[in-house]
Structure 1
Amino acid sequence: MIAYNKTWLANLRLQQQVKDNVERGNISHDEFNAIAEKYAVGFYSPNIFVRVGLFIVTCIIVLFADGLLSLIAAGGNIAETGGWAIFLGLLSYGALELMINAKYHFRSGVDDALLFTAGCAFIGGFAMFLHKTTEAPGFLPMAILVFLLTLYLTIRFADMLAVAVCCASFLWMVFLYWTRVAGVSTAPFIMMLVSGAIYWSARKYGSRKEVINYANCFGVVQILSLIALYAAGNYYIIATLSVEMMNQTGPVAFGVLFWVWTIAVPFVYIGFGLKQKNAILLRTGLLLVTAAVLTFRNYYHLLPVDVMLTIAGLALLSIVYAIMRYLKKPKHGFTCAEPDKVNALDHLKIESLIVAETFSHTPTAPANDGAEFGGGDFGGGGSSGGF
């Protein structure tokens, strides 16, 4: 399962939640320090600037080390094979496991870089192997291998980049398999169904406590599946696939349906986002409004592109402003104010935690003043037969 210490992950979530309450003034810094001391986290997690620096430095070190090893192995004609790339990936993966389990790195930049270089090396090795063993481009086998690899990396490290590649490769795998079996004409509809099923599954199961360590990964899956659902019916994408894969230059079949899908779906996302109080739906819908405008502008040149984009930007800003005005006062539990994160995770009661922390100290034993009681053998107040 996940490589990181689960207890520390739980404590890290707890500390973050308590820190949010410190920023709101609900609890004091002393109370936060007491809770942080009791629920300690042993990870090495520097700030974002150090993390970026360590990521770059680690990538450079890995590239130089792999280059040196490849030069040493060049005489044996093994450095040009896919097996060598996989071997280098295994070295990076071994270093990644070592840094996590021995040095306790967590999102430090070092583990991010090692995961990135290991994944790239594995994918490169798969590509080299398939290129030399298959006559036709092995896109479907490649998609399957990338999906299985990134699925393991996601489960093991809960990395958002890995889950993004995993979701994209799965959709690509489904598309390639369906076009091979049933053709391109029905592919948009099956991709709509698959993308919708992925979003529904991520939305339903992503909030369970059993997968709480993968909450961010499920969020990435929801975003990508919503984009894929829209892209599956986007008129421009359908028309491009018809030309590239079916050599059809005429009107697109079901063109009216795809045009309605292209224009309406972003606003459907926005509407359901407001109704269901779902920020992912709302923000994705606002983003896809731009895609709808660009698609329309590609086929209907009503105005110059700069004027069209300006109008689209103004329309988007107007929509955002109207939504914020509408939600200035809470409507049905939904507001544009900063979300209150108290009890958002595991329904934790901060007040109860503080009280428990306050009274959790072990009482000090009373000093011995020389008065000894007890020893009675008649059940009385400490008296005995030899009083």
Structure 2
Amino acid sequence: MLASNFNTIQNHFLLEETRKLVQLEIINQNQFEELEKKTITTKTNSNILLRIGFFILGNFLLSSIFGLFCLAFSFIENTRMLGACAFIAGIITIVISEFLRNQKYFSYGLDDSFIVSITLFFGIATSIFSENINCIFITIILTTAFTTIRYVHTPSILIFLVSLVSYVGYWAIIQKNISSFILALLFFIAAVGIYCIQLKISQYINYYIYKNVFFTAKIVSILLAYLSLNYFSVRELSKILLEDDFSKLQEIPLASLFYITTFVIPIFYIFYGLKEKERTFLWIGLLTLGLSFATIRYYHDYLPMEYALLLAGGILFAIVYFFIQKIKNNTIGITFKEDKSINPKAFDLIKVILVNAQVNTTVDTIQKDPVEFGGGGFSGGGSGETF
């Protein structure tokens, strides 16, 4: 199963990377506009507000279609008929999604509503025909996997991963004999597995069009790795699994270990992000470090709230001010300057698209000859018009 209109989607992402060539002054604006005219690309909404507007419009269309089916079969008082209507609506959304893809719509907003509704309608149909929670989870996982691969749909990978992790959690919770430590370790292994898989697949240039999908999977895996070993999440899971309402003074098993991981993982993210220049790890590390302090604050009140906020604000201001003064003028390493580097996996494809579009990227320069004939300016160069 391949992504539909593969080449046009690839051209869309390559044109985004080619804009950086203009910033680096490798090509000028006229050359980029010439390339843009000659390249067949997708119809995409770069304005997020317009995309949301078309998404809402698509939802209105879908609700009208589904309402029409329900009205047509309203005389049949059978719940399964509603499931049949949902199944037919799911097939219709697939047909419309294929039509929009053939018209080169990608991340336009209207197509997003139909793609997401594929999972919605088939999930509703499955829940009506079969009340088995396993069937519902499997349906959602399979349909989101299909829409992610077929339509290069980034929101679908988010739904896929959340459904997959939720299914693992559901399976573990119904097994009453599993401990909270094992469940936390299971989630952590799942997070590491997701991260390694996306990292391995993203290295292949053939899957470059899925770069946003891989980026979303990367963020989810990093957050899941932290949340799986966070003290708050483990404690709340222990309440569900052990069916025991812990008091704030009562600790869960292996509490010291989870206190350590609550702070060690964000610090590791920050240092790894700085060392490897990974902004994703850096930003998530800062976010999760704040959540770690909030976790400790939730269970242990060392200071009144107003003093804690003042102290935390003062410390953060001092740290941020110190580092800004240190790195604000750096041109290499950790810097505030704009990153104008080009994705190495995309660079070879950009060269191909430039050649195919026959865009001349060389700048013609006229070199002045140092030996000028006429005027007698050089020995043997000739004479001028005056004595």
| Stretch moving more, 276-285 or 114-123 | 114-123
The one-letter amino acid paired with 2:28 is S
| Stretch moving more, 224-233 or 318-327 | 318-327
Change (3 A) 1:35 1:114: same
Q: Distance in 2 between matches of 1:127 and 1:317?
A: 52
CA contact (8 A) 2:5 2:101 kept: no
The answer for unaligned runs of 5 or more in structure 2 is 363-387
Counterparts of 1:182-261 in structure 2, within 5 Å, are 183-185=178-180, 186-248=182-244, 249=246, 250-261=250-261
Distance apart, 1:314 and its partner CA: 5.5
Identity %: 23
Q: Deviations over 1:79-108 (max 9, x none)?
A: 66433322222222211111111x221111
User: What is residue 155 of structure 1 aligned with on the other side?
Assistant: 149
Change (3 A) 1:38 1:183: same
The one-letter amino acid paired with 1:44 is K
Q: Distance in 2 between matches of 1:194 and 1:57?
A: 37
The answer for unaligned runs of 5 or more in structure 1 is 361-387
Counterparts of 1:92-131 in structure 2, within 5 Å, are 92-101=93-102, 103-131=103-131
Q: Distance in 1 between matches of 2:195 and 2:21?
A: 32
Change (3 A) 1:65 1:317: farther
Change (3 A) 1:349 1:176: closer
Q: Distance in 1 between matches of 2:64 and 2:306?
A: 45
CA contact (8 A) 1:78 1:84 kept: no
Q: Distance in 1 between matches of 2:301 and 2:23?
A: 51
The one-letter amino acid paired with 2:61 is I
Change (3 A) 1:73 1:274: same
User: What is residue 86 of structure 2 aligned with on the other side?
Assistant: 85
Change (3 A) 1:119 1:309: farther
CA contact (8 A) 2:90 2:121 kept: yes
Aligned mate of 2:359, from 357, 360, 366:
357
Q: Distance in 1 between matches of 2:24 and 2:239?
A: 56
User: What is residue 374 of structure 1 aligned with on the other side?
Assistant: none
Q: Distance in 2 between matches of 1:2 and 1:306?
A: 56
Q: Distance in 2 between matches of 1:208 and 1:184?
A: 39
Change (3 A) 1:332 1:24: closer
Q: Distance in 1 between matches of 2:316 and 2:4?
A: 41
Q: Deviations over 1:20-76 (max 9, x none)?
A: 3334544322211222233332x2223424322221112112112211221111112
Change (3 A) 1:215 1:318: farther
Q: Deviations over 1:130-188 (max 9, x none)?
A: 43xx4xxx2x4433332222111111112121101111122222233344556133111
Q: Distance in 2 between matches of 1:161 and 1:31?
A: 34
Please, what is the CA RMSD of the aligned residues? Answer: 2.9
Q: Distance in 2 between matches of 1:52 and 1:188?
A: 36
Q: Distance in 2 between matches of 1:260 and 1:313?
A: 23
Distance apart, 1:117 and its partner CA: 2.3
**TM score, norm. by length of structure 1:** 0.81
The one-letter amino acid paired with 1:161 is P
Indicate the SS of the match to 1:75. Answer: coil
| Stretch moving more, 9-18 or 309-318 | 309-318
Change (3 A) 1:358 1:104: same
The one-letter amino acid paired with 1:94 is V
User: What is residue 275 of structure 2 aligned with on the other side?
Assistant: 275
CA contact (8 A) 1:343 1:349 kept: no
Q: Distance in 2 between matches of 1:21 and 1:3?
A: 27
Distance apart, 1:198 and its partner CA: 1.6
Q: Distance in 2 between matches of 1:27 and 1:331?
A: 23
Q: Distance in 1 between matches of 2:195 and 2:322?
A: 27
Change (3 A) 1:113 1:350: closer
User: What is residue 176 of structure 1 aligned with on the other side?
Assistant: 170
Indicate the SS of the match to 1:357. Answer: coil
Distance apart, 1:2 and its partner CA: 4.2
Distance apart, 1:322 and its partner CA: 4.9
| Stretch moving more, 218-227 or 308-317 | 308-317
Q: Distance in 2 between matches of 1:5 and 1:313?
A: 50
| Stretch moving more, 13-22 or 232-241 | 13-22
Greater relative contact order structure (CA < 8 Å, 6+ sep)? 2
CA contact (8 A) 1:93 1:114 kept: yes
Q: 1:39 aligned to 2:35?
A: no
User: What is residue 381 of structure 2 aligned with on the other side?
Assistant: none
Q: Distance in 2 between matches of 1:155 and 1:357?
A: 32
Q: Distance in 2 between matches of 1:244 and 1:18?
A: 52
User: What is residue 57 of structure 1 aligned with on the other side?
Assistant: 57
CA contact (8 A) 1:17 1:341 kept: no
Q: Distance in 1 between matches of 2:70 and 2:313?
A: 50
Change (3 A) 1:336 1:13: same
Change (3 A) 1:320 1:196: farther
| Pairs aligned (count) | 352
User: What is residue 366 of structure 2 aligned with on the other side?
Assistant: none
